[in-house]
Amino acid sequence: MLSYALRRLLGVIPTLLIIVTAAFFIMRLAPGGPFDQEQTLPPQIAANLEAAYGLDQPMLVQYGHYLAGLLHGDLGPSFKYKDFRVSELIARGLPVTLTIGGLALLLSVALGVALGMAAALRHNAALDHLVMGVALSGIAVPNFVVAPVLALVFGVRLGWLPAAGWQAGRVAYLVLPVVTLALPFIAYLARLTRGSMLEVLQAPYLRAARAKGLGRGALLRRHALKPTLLPVVSFLGPAAAALLTGSLVVEQVFGLPGIGRYFVQGAVNRDYTLVMGMVIFYAALILLLNLAVDLVYGWLDPRIRHD
């Protein structure tokens, strides 16, 4: 297991290199630049800015300097946030994003798996149809629709919760963003869990255990739960990355000071280094979470061996 994990970690390096290379050249080949404004800067000022950030050098030289900085853990300075390094901006927004995303992940797993199992155990009953109908609605309605509706109803009309903003330590400011972020993932997990459990319950070894008189609770706990969770775990890799790094739309709608806000503003402002830093952060997180999913697979399914 340890050797497999080390090999996978080493495999992350060339994958990240490909992602960094593609993002670097795509950003710079696109029209415009970080210092383009509605009012054109005097040529001398524009030249001084480009020289200060190394943008006057050939693109391959810029690429080499950027890779050299990455080897030392330096994501470079932000072009728009003066006197800030990209790593500092990520560190500022990450606690908020991890708080919202972590709570949304816990809520998604708890409700999604529970609802999916309940629907599977009452297959074709009223509860099954209700859960699947709600799940389809959760998948079909996007976050950019749900977020304003929840803010309008519970924040503006009823006044139960803050419609936007952020105050550290205030639970009320967490509720609407967490629920908005979790709803589609609850729906996906409910459908995945239901379909997986229905398939597992038809397996020959479960029918044999049932015929031997094993109780329903013990049957589900000892024999059905782990294989049921296999497709759920595989989905949790990219889902956890999306939740833990925060939704760009949710953070914008609710005015959260997370890293999603910096990603959006960096793209709008053509802040090369800020966008690159966010891309690297997202890519590394997805790769590491996928590795974690593969390792958990070996625990859930004894037939899988990581040699």
The 3-state DSSP composition of the chain as helix, strand, coil percent (nearest 5) reads: 75, 0, 25
Q: Position 126: which residue type?
A: A
The pLDDT, as a whole number, for residue 234 is 75
- pLDDT (tens, 9 = 90+) of the chain, 307 residues, equals 667 667 777 777 888 888 888 888 887 777 666 666 545 656 666 666 666 666 667 778 888 888 888 888 888 888 777 778 888 888 888 888 888 888 888 888 888 888 888 887 787 788 878 888 878 777 777 777 888 888 888 888 888 888 777 777 788 888 888 888 888 888 888 888 888 877 777 767 666 666 666 666 666 666 666 777 777 777 777 777 777 666 677 887 888 888 877 777 777 777 788 888 888 888 888 888 777 777 776 666 555 555 5
The pLDDT, as a whole number, for residue 44 is 67
The pLDDT, as a whole number, for residue 48 is 66
The pLDDT, as a whole number, for residue 224 is 67
Domains in the chain, please, with CATH? 86-300 (1.10.3720.10)
Phi, psi of 213 (to 5 degrees): 95, 15
Q: Which residues lie closer than 8 Å to 271 by C-beta, 6 or more apart?
A: 34, 78, 79, 80, 81, 265
**Sign (positive or negative) of CA dihedral 22, 27, 28, 31:** positive
The pLDDT, as a whole number, for residue 191 is 85
Bridge partners (DSSP) of residue 85 are 77
- How many helical (H) and strand (E) elements, i.e. helices and strands, does the chain have? 13, 0
* Lookup result for tokens 């297959």: 123
The answer to whether 263 and 248 are in contact (CB under 8 A) is yes
CA distance 68 to 88: 19
CA distance 185 to 183: 5
The pLDDT, as a whole number, for residue 297 is 62
Q: Hey, is 31 helix, strand or coil?
A: coil
